[in-house]
Amino acid sequence: MSAMKYKKNKSALSFLLGSLILIGLSVMHLVQGQADLSIGDLFSSWDQRTEAIMGVRFPRLMVGILAGGCLAMAGLVLQTMTKNPLASAGTLGINAGAYLFVVIGTLFFPGVNASFLFSFLGACFAAFLVFMLAGKTMSPVRIVLTGMIITLLFGALTSSLQLMYEQESNGLFLWGAGTLMQNDWSGVAFIWPFALFLGLLAILSGKKFDLIHLGDEAAKGLGLPLRFVKTWGWALGILLASATVSVVGPIGFIGLMAPHLVRLMGIRGHRLQFVHTFMWGAVILIAADVLSRLISPNSELPVGAMTAFIGSPWLMYLAYKAARKMRSDKQKLTSSKKTLNPIVVTISLIGVSLVVAYVSISFGGGQFTSIQEMFAGKLVDQVTIQFRWPRVLVSFLVGALLALCGALLQNVLKNPLGDPSIIGITSGGGAGALLILVVFPSLPYIFLPIGAVIGSIMAVLIVILATKRSGFEPISLALMGVAVSAMASGVIQILTVKASLSVSPALVWLAGSTYRSTWDNVVWLLVMLVILVPFTLSLSKHLNVLAFSNEVSISLGSKVKLLRITSIVIAVLIGAVCVSIVGAIGFIGLLAPHAARALVGSAFQRVIPVSMMIGGTLLIIADFLSRYILYPTEIPSGLLVALVGAPYILYVMRKL
């Protein structure tokens, strides 16, 4: 009896605390805005200020409370269905799928006013992909990483559509980052029935969800219709997330944080957990919106960026706990048993690269320059020299350097998922470079790579330190890298809006593009290539030894720690400088070394030149296609690479 009484008192205390915090945040939320209001104005007689409160601010507050509660409940039920503490609508790709389909509906079916229908279909499609690709074991870390990679893939597709249809989708940029901005009560009128009825159904289903925690066999033994309950649970989570995305856009991490917070308070049983989770989800989202408006009182800052910034450390902590259970020092970088002559392969790749470069330089204004015109000097005119040549050269040099970066990371971490974009170098460098650009706009260009290097170093340090205990186990390292990338992306979104950067240039830079390449960029990259490649080749014999266990490497006379630190420093420098020049181009560092090992084996002195040639050629091809596919509209080459790279990561994961 005393235990039951203690449980009720703890639940009541938690609910009271959350209610008081929510009331306080709500008052702060209502008085925030461009027009100065006081708490007394909330209770004054009806005037224009009261109309502003009731017509704009109060709907925004109510949408925030309902959306936060729905996302939190969706996270709780998804964590129960997957038995996965890392699950939520954001981490499983459900939000990204809903967002992609809403954009598709807006662009291609403008006369159909059914954003919820498109949102629901997209969420279902994303959940289906995660379920099919994660494997039968449904490992907690694996299923979340699968969801996050699908999020990257859907994000690339969404960004491509927004850039191709810039005018039609211009109003979707802020909504796509997650915003509570409301101009009337229509959003509240749409979402409250979902919150009320689905919330009540979730509470009524609480006892059945409790039985799932006992295990499938035990639940069946107690008479639970397991398949029906799990289907209903998935449907409940998807419906709650879809309704929210259709009104406020994809807001992540609420569904991850709120259920954990409730469980940490000692609330047990799904019926109580749903009630408390709804309230604390509302608290977190309103707090994030209050904070975003404090940071940027004169411009609308996406609350989704703020929740990503706040929630990413929580995901890092959960990923760290998962990594501690996944100790692995047996990772190997596999190569083809039948390898080719590296000299022949390298010469062949040089030939392919020259042909691709010629085609890319020849294309301009929607037409090709023929070979006869080339010899007549058409490829050496002023326009070609100033614009096309540096763009092609930058594409090749960035692709080659990113391939070298990926080869180093995969070798030193013994991790087939090693890539600057996966372990946070790219996004960290982007955040650092943009921070310099926004906070210190008068500084000369030389400081942009410095900011990128600092950002990349911080990101990599977090990832490496957090996964050290697991022996840099591939999946846990990739998950930690995605968490760090999510935080850096939140910082980038906040800085982008804070600096009032226009939508299209911001999307292009975030996606990665060689559009503004100059001869100065070529010089920078050539200097790095001339310095770092010979130095790395001189270490290749020692780096080959790292493929063995630490004990064997040390017994062979290698200074393992020094080699690892040196390799990581080189990788960070490469990734940061490339980001500062062309933006966030990912996956080249993943694809090129894998292809090189398949051709010439895993010896590092062979992998380096071959992977660099493959990486450079791939990025030239991507850059050419980005200009040619939808001419005169240009797609960032980083998006094209992501459309190939994200599925390849899923393929590599299936083999791990």
DSSP one-letter string for 441-494:
TTS-TTHHHHHHHHHHHHHHHHHHHHHTTTTS-HHHHHHHHHHHHHHHHHHHHH
Name the pTM for this structure. Answer: 0.78
Residue 84, amino acid = N
SS3 of 364, please?
Answer: strand
Q: Rounded CA gap, 206 and 194, in Å? A: 17
Given a cut of 70, whether residue 522 has pLDDT beyond it is yes
**Residues 43-54, buried b or exposed e (16+ Cβ, 10 A)?**
eeeeeebbebbe
Q: Rounded CA gap, 61 and 619, in Å? A: 46
Residue 280: its H or E element: helix 270-295
Given a cut of 70, whether residue 620 has pLDDT beyond it is yes
| pLDDT at 113 (0 to 100) | 72
Contact 637, 616 (CB under 8 A): no
548-571 per-position pLDDT tens digit? 555 555 555 556 667 777 888 888
SS3 of 367, please?
Answer: strand
Residue 150, amino acid = I
| pLDDT at 1 (0 to 100) | 46
Given a cut of 50, whether residue 296 has pLDDT beyond it is yes
Q: Which domains does the chain have, with CATH numbers?
A: 58-324 (1.10.3470.10), 342-655 (1.10.3470.10)
Residue the block writes with tokens 């990679």 = 149
Ramachandran assignment for 242, one of left (phi > 0), alpha (psi -120 to 50 degrees), beta (any other):
alpha
Supply the DSSP symbol for 37. -
Contact 615, 588 (CB under 8 A): yes
Residue the block writes with tokens 């919150």 = 195
Given a cut of 80, whether residue 609 has pLDDT beyond it is yes
Portion of the chain with pLDDT greater than 90, in percent: 10
Q: Rounded CA gap, 463 and 426, in Å? A: 13
